[in-house]
Amino acid sequence: MRPLTVRRLLWTCGGLAALLLACVVLALKLGAVPISVTDLVLDLGRIAIGRASELPTDYRLIVFDLRLPRILLGILVGAALSVAGAGFQALLRNPLADPYVLGVSSGAALGSILALIIAPEFALVTPLGAFLGAIATIAAVYFLGRRGGQLDSTTLLLGGIISASFFSAIIMFLMTTLSGRDLRGMVFWLMGDLSTPVPAGLQWIFTVGLLAGIGAIYSTSADLNLLLTGEREAIHLGVDVTRVKLVVYVSASLLTALAVSASGAIGYVGLLVPHAVRLFFGSDYRLLIPASALCGAIAIVLADTLARTVVSPTELPVGAMTAMAGAPVFIYLLRRGLK
Amino acid sequence: MSANDTFAPTLGRRELSQDGESSLRLNVAQASYAYSPSAQSAPTFTLSATSFQAREREIVAILGPNASGKSTLLRLISGMIAPLSGRVELDGVETSRLDVRTRAQKIAVVHQESPSVYPARAGDFVLQGRYPYGRALRFAKQEDIEVARNALARVGAEHLANRMMDELSGGEKQRIILARALAQQPRLVLLDEPTLHLDIGAQVELLERLRQLAHENRYTVVVVTHELGLAAEFADQVVLLQHGRCLRVGSPATVYQKELLEQVFEAPLDVELGPAGRPRVNLRARRSEEIT
């Protein structure tokens, strides 16, 4: 018998964190202006000991004022979407659940756009609207997915996909009828894009909100393991199912909402990453959640680096990269599940 | 650590009975229930007042055809639902009043199948039975691992610990699910149609194991089944249900009467008394002229 130990958990997460760090260095290096890795590591060291002022200004501008914030945003968004995906998968007992596939991302996007139209003067209005949009969408999809009192996997996914295209259509309508908005920027944002930085005043709210959401889902990970074997079994084993479901429902919606209001609807990360983590590390949620957070961060940092460099000096939205990788995997999982 | 050492703390906690006379454990007193689609509408199914008692080491079979109220009675006993009237008590405490964690320490429920979205290893699955004893993220303590190992040994499945649940045969899976129930160190073990997907050899093996476990660990066992033959062979008490009514409670010998069983199960059958005072049931196929 080899149960999960704290030791194995820490070693795995430590290894993944090191991998993430390597990806961050790589992402800082690559771009329209090439920078050598040795310089970069030395400079990172200089910043760490508080001597950032010694660096040349133009270089500091590119690497640490443009690339680094974008990478940090990518880390937060990737972690949030992956953990939200893993959370939705347990909540709905469906391995294909993901904020994007379920339409939650589109719901959050519509929510934030509507909020922006109604009250553009408040900074907090976008994430708040996104949260309401996310929570309403998942509730709607959940009820669409019920057939005869049971949650039906296929109906649930159809409900999500239909909601997503419905919301996208409304967003398109709003964007076209509202004059004076940056249409290309909006299209990028809809696809999922990291090029717009989070407004300075909101950065703390984002970071704290995302970490709190991930922490809340992680605190239920032992319960989620049991919930996956069945709701009835979980109750008989002593799980407070109502509380656990509420925590995961609210937290996963919050994570999706924050990620979407910062970077638009980046698709398939919440599906791909937990799936890959399960292949390598098994499906114990106590390991799956932190490993998914780290791998999600790695995935987005790499995908965004690719998006910045493949057609350099032009950029692709990062959501285009994740969709190119994610859609085939989704189809593969769906076919395998239908067998 | 031997098997007995691990289970000893639980045994010590329970008061020892005098002169081999075991104490009353489960008391179902005039318990009834009604399902309604909504609060205003008339109930679609009612279980009328049912009473029986069970002592430790006893096996009770709840017997009846489909839609007779077997599962409802089991849900009442497990405390998932509270009776509309009457009481269901385990060691003098109403099961539906226990908080979910305490309940899981006292009552283990084994369902027909536990299909998981992501199959776990059998060993980890058995460790889930330690959930009601743990805190927060519930990393397994040495004690939990010992208890889980012991539970696996008691169902003869140590060699399956590292196999994935979805690779196991029906009988092996059923043993692992039973081992998880044992790892809960309960006082009451409830089984819902445990033999449904098992072949006849595995059915007999499971029930013999249950009888032995009930005896060694002083469990009270309640089995829901429609297997007349198995219930006659293994149960100390039979609760016979039909259309939500409790028809008889008693030893298999007193409940198994030809006319009664024929009427309840709507099938022609013969009942004869076996060597150990246990009845035997033989199904009699209708001849073709009887059917037409």
pLDDT in tens, B114-140: 667 788 889 999 999 999 999 888 899
Closest CB to A236 among B78, B125, B139: B78
- Whether the predicted pLDDT of A259 surpasses 80: yes
Question: What order of strands is seen across the sheet that includes strand B93-94?
Answer: B45-55, B24-35, B85-90, B93-94
Predicted pLDDT at A115: 87
CA distance A25 to chain B (A): 33
A230 touches chain B (CB under 8 A): yes
The residue ranking higher by pLDDT, B83 or A312, is B83
Closest CB to B127 among A3, A89, A233: A3
Neighbours of B29 (CB within 10 A): 15
- Per the CB < 8 A criterion, the answer to whether A236 and B108 are in contact is yes
A2 touches chain B (CB under 8 A): yes
CA distance B83 to chain A (A): 18
What percentage of chain B reaches a pLDDT higher than 90?
Answer: 51
- Per the CB < 8 A criterion, the answer to whether A307 and A257 are in contact is no
CA distance A303 to chain B (A): 28
Q: What chain A residue is nearest to B126 in terms of C-alpha separation?
A: A1
- Bridge partner list, A146: A151
Q: Is B40 helix (H, G, I), strand (E, B) or coil?
A: coil
Confidence band of A339 (pLDDT split at 50, 70, 90): very low
Residues A222, B107: C-beta atoms closer than 8 Å: no
pLDDT digit string, tens, across residues B193-249: 888 778 888 888 888 988 999 999 899 999 998 888 888 989 999 999 999 999 999
Confidence band of B16 (pLDDT split at 50, 70, 90): very low
Average pLDDT over residues A83-108: 91
Predicted pLDDT at A183: 60
Predicted pLDDT at B11: 40
Tell which residue, A217, A316, A198, A318, has the closest CA to residue A267: A318
Tell which residue, A92, A83, A79, A131, has the closest CA to residue A110: A131
Q: What chain A residue is nearest to B161 in terms of C-alpha separation?
A: A1
Question: CA B22: distance to chain centroid?
Answer: 19
CA distance B44 to chain A (A): 16
Q: Which of A89, A233, A292 to mutate to test the interface with B (most CBs of B within 10 A)?
A: A233
Helical residues (DSSP H) of chain A, grouped into ranges: 6-29, 37-48, 57-60, 68-91, 104-118, 125-144, 153-177, 183-191, 203-219, 221-227, 231-236, 241-263, 269-281, 285-309, 318-338
Counting Cβ atoms within 10 Å, is residue B224 exposed (0-12), middle (13-18) or buried (19+)? buried
**Residues present in chain B in total:** 292
CA distance A232 to chain B (A): 9
Confidence band of B100 (pLDDT split at 50, 70, 90): very high
Q: Cα(first)–Cα(last) distance of chain A, in Å? A: 31
Closest CB to A235 among B100, B121, B137: B100
Predicted pLDDT at B7: 45
- Whether the predicted pLDDT of A66 surpasses 70: yes
Q: Which residues contact A216 (CB under 8 A, 6 or more apart)?
A: A247, A250, A251
Q: What chain B residue is nearest to A5 in terms of C-alpha separation?
A: B139
Cα separation, B73 vs B162, whole angstroms = 36
- Whether the predicted pLDDT of B13 surpasses 50: no
Number of residue pairs across A and B with CB atoms under 8 Å? 91
- Per the CB < 8 A criterion, the answer to whether A82 and A273 are in contact is yes
CA atoms within 13 A on the CB side of A278: 20
* Binding-site residues on chain B for chain A (CB distance < 8 A): 78, 80, 100-101, 103-105, 107-109, 111, 114-121, 123-125, 127-129, 131-132, 134, 136-140, 145, 148-149, 152, 161-162, 184
For B255, the token pair is 């409940």
On chain A, the residues whose CB falls within 8 A of the CB of B103 are 238
- Bridge partner list, B54: B26
Q: Is B245 helix (H, G, I), strand (E, B) or coil?
A: strand
